Structures are given as structure tokens and as C-alpha cells.
Amino acid sequence: MQIKITLSLILGITLCFSNSSFANNALVGNEAPQADQTTQQIQVHVSSVSDTSIIEASNQAAKSANIEDDPARLPANIVAPITNVASKKVKVSSAPSKPKNMIIMIGDGMGPAYTTAYRYFKDNPDTEEIEQTVFDRLLVGMASTYPAPASGYVTDSAASATALATGFKSYNGAISVDLDKRPLTTIMELAKKVGLATGVAVSCQVNHATPAAFLAHNEHRRNYVQIAEGYLASDADVILGGGQKYFSDALLSEFTAKGYQHITEFEQLDGITEPKVLGLFADVQLPWVLDDQDGYKLSTLTKKSLELLSQNEQGFILMVEGSLIDWAGHSNDIATAMGEMDEFANAIEVVEQFVRERNDTLMVVTADHNTGGLSIGAHGEYVWNPTMLHNIKASPQTISEELVAVDNWQERFNQLIGFEATTEELASLDAARMQGQKQLYKSILHIIDIRTNTGWTSVGHTASDVQVFAAGPGSRLFSGHQDNTEIATKMMSLLPKALN
């Protein structure tokens, strides 16, 4: 009798659990990997829909398949929330389906090896754990960077910025013009048409290739003066960076006549309480981070841009560029590159905090291309030693400039580089110094590469894909692999409709 009762209980419990949500959970769990892949494909390829419409499409498909009545009929390409199976209700996020504000941040030349190297550069050697960086937190996908076929597979900054600003491929050197040199509509121009504020904040000259592609049209990136003059027509609310040498007094007068506040010192930023502003804080580039005693230049410009642009009740579009990562990469200068990466990460965290404090802002971070073919480890040795980089007290370029101007250069080198140079290292520096500052700079870089075991394949760009990072409403659209033109078209699809 006891055996029969026990068997009955076991059978009853088994039947009970087979009809419960636990069984449904197992079913959904088995289907989830394939469904997740399909969801990513939908998000990547359908650039004209919002997150909400993706959810609605999934719910509609679920209804047509009678999922609520029979969970076993769940199609392989749809992920139904488990709460939907159990209660037939979908929990809807309070965040808007489309962002009010959008921020695109571009690490110029920041290929995947740069963000990886930065992780190890920032690692605390006193802990067993390798700490995550902001790049690890926000990573969602990858993007291809090739230009129009006329320029092959390896892009320059102008063609890549044109793709990110307009959604179209063009030739290397093009500033938001097509192959026939006709203007392409930028996301900034679309934003202006619907009443949004726009701005750029960069660490190079404001009329360099990347910001130029967002604010101007020109057949070649080297036409710096023409590009600067073209900024008058952009009506951008915030323009911050370097490049004072390209803006004549006459041109600056035209900007001020149009309502722009022109400033040249960082201390003047505190006195700017409303747009419009043209801030030109250097003749060309801002100082290298390693040479900047005050520091936080790009993050300061980013914070001020957010403060000013957010005054527009309709919303805003902001482009921020960590420009000098690329410049350091062209020189194969790992010490300077990590300094620039650190400040770009600071700027990203400023924006990340802004996004977290609101539910109406999308941030997308990517690179325009990879520079230098950075290798974290080289010469067949399984090691990379970034610790010494923290002890370097100035950029190698600045160190080389100082050493050619002083007699006791050996002592000064040891002070600035942060270690005692060997006899062999001093001999190589002495020979290079006799050939001038440029050769001395290369010799310093070689010593740093040998001590850190850093490798490089080029002093130019490479064709490797780059990472995509995102957060905020609409961020799921950027998951998985996409072309750089799709980043632009997806962001354009999230703009509000034209004002009547």
C-alpha cells in the first residue's frame, strides 16, 4: 500500500511539473541561442525600426504561432519572454523607444588591439583579477571600415568619417561628398532640419578629417581653410578643439557676427553658459596627454558640450573624437597612445554617466579604422610589459625635443623616461641624437618597444574591423557585425520626424 501511495505521489508531482512554467523555461532555454542570433540579425539589418518595433514584431509572430496557448510551438527564430509564457504579459521598459539625444564618439585609429592594450595598461598588478575597462563594459559589436571600391580595402579617416556621418561610402580623402564630389547629407544636417542642436568636440584641429565630415563638404581633407570657412554654413552650436591657425581674423569676425562666442583658453569655458561657441585652444592639436600638466582636456570639452547642447528641448547630436590616438599610432608610439586612450576613456565615462542619469540619450562609440598594426607582444615572446609606461613623465616626442637642446641629456633622459638606461641604450641614443630630433625620437620609441615587447606592422592604417560600443535607448540596434555606413543609417533612423 505504501509503495502504491509513493508511486502515485511521484507520478502526480511529475505531471504537475510538466505543466508548469519550469518546463516552459527549459524549452525557452534550449531555443535561446539560435533565437538570440536571429534577434541580432534583425537589429543589425533593419535600421529603420526602433527597439520597441522589434519587440512588437516578436510579439506578433508569437501570437500567430499560438505560443501563449502552446509554448511547445515556439518558433526557433523568436525569443518569447518567459513572463509572456507564464502570465501572457510583457513587461515594457519605461525608457523611450527612440532617444532624444545621440552622441557618437570616435577613437581615431583605435583598433581592437588598442582597447585590449589599454585593459592591461590599466590593470592593477596588486590584484589577481584583470579589471574591466569602460570598453569592456559597453562592447556590443563590430564594424567593417572599407572605403568605396575606388580606394580599395584600407580606409583613411576622411572616407570613414564620411561613412559614419552620411551612411555612404566614398573615396579616401573625401569630406562628405560622393565619388562625383557631390555633397552627401550628414546626420548633423538632418538633425538641424528637425530642430536639434549639434556639436563637435575633438583633440585635434576642429577642421581635421573626422569633424569636417560631420560639419562640412569638400573634395579633399587637406583643404583646411576651405573646410573652416564651410563651418559657417553648418550652424553647429558647439565647435571645440584646436586649429586656431586655420581661422583668419576675418573668418572669426564672421563667426562672431553670427552669434558665436570665440574663446582660446580653457579657463574661458566656465564663462560660457549657452550656445553658440567656437573654442580653438591650440594652433593645431591639443597637447599630448603625457605633456599636459592640467589634463582632462577632451573630457572637459565633452562635459561642457553636454551642458550646452542639452539646453535644447528638442534634443541634440554630439560627435566627440579622441583624435590623437591615431597620431600616436602613426608614430608607433605606445606610451603616447596609452595616454590618449586614457583620456578618451575618461570622456566616454563622462558620457556614460550622462546616459545613466537620463533615459533619453543614446551613446555609440567606435573607431574609424585601425592605425599602426599594434601588436601586444612581439618577437616570438609571450609577454607584454606595460608597467614601465606609467613611469614616463613626458611624451617621447617632447623628450626627444628636449634632449637635443641640452648638454647633460643622458641624465635628463633617465629622469623623463622613468628608468636607468643601459650603456647600449645610451650609445644608440647618442648616435641618433647626432642625426637630429626625428631620429632621436625613433630611437626612444625603439627602446620603449623593446622594453615593453610591443610590435607594429605599419606606420599607416590597416583594414581590420573595429569595435562598436553602445548604451541607452536604441543601443541594441548596434549589436553584432555591421558596416560603418550602417552605424550612420541606424542613428539617422532614430532621429525625430521633421517639424511641421
Q: Which residues are catalytic?
A: 157
CB 108 within 8 A of CB 212: no
CA distance 343 to 490: 27
Cell representation of residue 347: 570622456
Element (H, E) at 476: none
- For 391, the grid coordinates are 613611469
Give the C-alpha separation, 55 to 39, whole Å: 10
What are the backbone dihedrals phi and psi of residue 46, each rounded to the nearest 5 degrees, phi first? Answer: -100, 90
Contact 160/368 with Cβ under 8 angstroms? yes
Q: Which three cell numbers mark 390?
A: 606609467
The CB density around residue 81, as the number of other CB atoms within 10 Å, is 16
Take residue 89 and report the three cell numbers written for it.
Answer: 504579459
Q: How far is CA 430 from CA 393, 399, 403, in A?
A: 20, 14, 10
Closest CA to 166 of 150, 154, 155, 178: 178
In 249-323, which ranges are continuous DSSP H helix? 249-257, 297-309
The secondary structure of 399-420, three-state, reads HHHHHCCCCCHHHHHHHHHCCC
For 81, 115, 184, 478, 485, the CA distances from 300, given in Å and listed in that order, are 42, 22, 31, 27, 29
